[in-house]
Amino acid sequence: MAGYIQMGMKDIITDSMPVQGTLYDPANEHDACGVGFVAQVNGRRSNRILEIGLHAICSLMHRGALDADAKTGDGAGITTQIPYKIFAKEVARMGHQLFQESDLAVGVLFLPHDNAYAQARAKAITEEVLKKRDLFLFGWREVPVNLRVLGDKAQLTMPRIEHVLIGKPWGMSDNDYERRLFLARNEIENIAEADQIRNFYIPSFSHRMICYKGLLVSASLEKFYQDLCDPDYETAFTVYHQRYSTNTFPTWPLAQPFRMLGHNGEINTVRGNRNWMEAREAELKADFWGKDIDLLKPIIQPGGSDSASLDNALEILSMSGRGILQAMHMLVPPAWRNDKRVSPELAAFYEYHSCICEPWDGPAALVFTDGITVGACLDRNGLRPARYKLTDDGIFSLGSEVGITGLDHESIIEKGRLAPGEMIAVDTAQGVLLRDEQIKNSLATRRDYKGWLQKNLTRIPDISASEIKVPEEKLDALSLTRQQVAFGYSSEDIDMILKPMFKDAAEAVGSMGDDTPLAVLSLRPRLLYTYFKQLFAQVTNPPIDPIREKLVMSLQTVMGWRRNLLSETGEHAEQVSLSSPVLSNET
């Protein structure tokens, strides 16, 4: 049965998806998976780093689901640095020569599997955009694969997978080159969408990293992609991911890692995050994007999972000059307000960025990379595991479980785990392991965030209970009852909800079902708040609220104009800060 989703600003048809008009909504895609990375701290490339990463992802096979054919999985994949030894041979075979390895970029394209004409058109669009962007086209490479390891469903929906090999314009910096590739990819997607080319997706388009992923189980990844068996495949890091699609339909594009990250967990605030990102698109501007700024829109590509949406947000922030470590702290900040260990400068960093961007709330264990720095972090609740090891020869590994890498125990000099809100990273260019405290201190001193807040942020002071004026007029029982009826309160509300709150100073907790009709369908007058229902995580997350969980949650509310997402100025802090969204006459 053919179906439809939209992914990456273009339409994708997959045989395993339900048709349009059904109750399925791709906006509800979630993930709960196995994730991790392996890196050589000194940045030296080797085939061993790939082997360890492949061993680790195979050890996480139980974290993904398996179809009845015992071959089709929810998706698995890896992201590494571009293996220059392999692709330099391909460039030479095409009649060209690389002046330096970093000039090479590789685009991975999932082309329409059932339409040769659409395949040709997608490749023609790619070539046209590369020429327009002054990017040199070395040629095309069909990716060698082994179809026998795929299950029936994976084979039916498998795209044609090709690499486009690209050369850097003379004199361009590495960062500008990566931005040029980013714009080219977005333009290719836009034109393909306008031409209604379906089942087209670009997993990676970079001169730093390359993604190999598919709708298969992790044990089949190396067997399917024959490049991964080549001893010339050398990299300084490997990011790996085994997907478990929670209440969703597995597809080739939704396999992870995405373009910059892999995610284990769920983003519970994803609807609000997507809406806020869309609301900020009108304010976007940056000198280095210039007239191409519209190619960045929509920031969140429709049809993706919660993980894909977070990846979109991370990509635009890190590409726009902030750096991947700062971008991750903006999107997934730790619980800092009630943590006495947080320095004033670091607290100012987080409070300033709360004026720009809302947190993408987990549970989340996130592994991320921009091709140079590779790292991992947990959200502020820390409800997903992330354990790490460091060997005496400088290999750092982190994953959802212990014992998955096969490293010799005698070589391990350090082991540990990430705590809630912590981050760790390896900078392969500088050859250093960046600890949580070091990362945060570096970010806190980038700008005078404390001075910007003192100058621009307006704080509404807390009002204590003793300062709130209570009307002296006392209501008699009849008047009280009349007002309760007038405002829609029932005796059940009084006995079951209000009295426990007065008695215990806590919200009443109950079980069993709620058979009260939805307010919008009820024939009786209802209180305003009963027309709203709280969204909640559907899988393995415990109930949580800002009163019981005050150490990791806050009711602090910031109001005002949210300025350009891509810049960083003192004026961004010109907002009003409230300790709670609940206002009284005094506030």
pLDDT at residue 187 greater than cutoff 90? yes
Residues 262-290: what's their mean pLDDT? 90
172 exposure class (CB count in 10 Å sphere: 0-12, 13-18, 19+): middle
Residues 439-460: what's their mean pLDDT? 95
260 vs 251, more confident: 260
Residues 105-121: what's their mean pLDDT? 95
Distance (Å, whole) CA 204 – CA 106: 8
pLDDT value at residue 81: 98
Distance (Å, whole) CA 312 – CA 299: 6
Of 33, 58, 355, 357, the active-site residue reads 33
pLDDT band at 8 (very low <50, low <70, confident <90, very high): very low
Percent of the chain with pLDDT over 70: 89
30 vs 206, more confident: 206
pLDDT at residue 10 greater than cutoff 60? no
Mean pLDDT of the chain: 87
- What is the maximum alpha-carbon separation in the chain? 94
Distance (Å, whole) CA 236 – CA 227: 16
pLDDT at residue 286 greater than cutoff 90? no
pLDDT value at residue 501: 85
Distance (Å, whole) CA 150 – CA 481: 69
Listed residue (201, 299, 248, 313) closest to 31, CA to CA: 248
Distance (Å, whole) CA 200 – CA 192: 8
Residue reference for tokens 């009443």:
508
- What are φ and ψ of residue 109, in 5° steps? -120, 130
DSSP state of 218: G
Q: Are 266 and 535 in contact (CB under 8 A)?
A: no
pLDDT value at residue 11: 40
- To the query of whether residue 357 is one of the catalytic residues in this protein, the response is no
Distance (Å, whole) CA 288 – CA 284: 12
pLDDT band at 4 (very low <50, low <70, confident <90, very high): very low
467 exposure class (CB count in 10 Å sphere: 0-12, 13-18, 19+): exposed
pLDDT value at residue 204: 97
Residues 460-480: what's their mean pLDDT? 72
pLDDT at residue 1 greater than cutoff 50? no
pLDDT value at residue 241: 94
Give 393's Cβ-side CA count (13 Å radius): 10
pLDDT at residue 232 greater than cutoff 80? yes
pLDDT at residue 155 greater than cutoff 80? yes
pLDDT value at residue 27: 54
pLDDT at residue 73 greater than cutoff 70? yes
Q: What is the DSSP string of 368-417?
A: EE-SSEEEEEE-TT--S--EEEEETTSEEEEESSSS-S---GGGEEEEEE
Residues 34-58: what's their mean pLDDT? 96
- What are φ and ψ of residue 243, in 5° steps? -90, 140
Residues 7-11: what's their mean pLDDT? 39
Q: Is 73 helix (H, G, I), strand (E, B) or coil?
A: strand
pTM tops 0.75, yes or no: yes
pLDDT value at residue 544: 62
pLDDT band at 127 (very low <50, low <70, confident <90, very high): very high
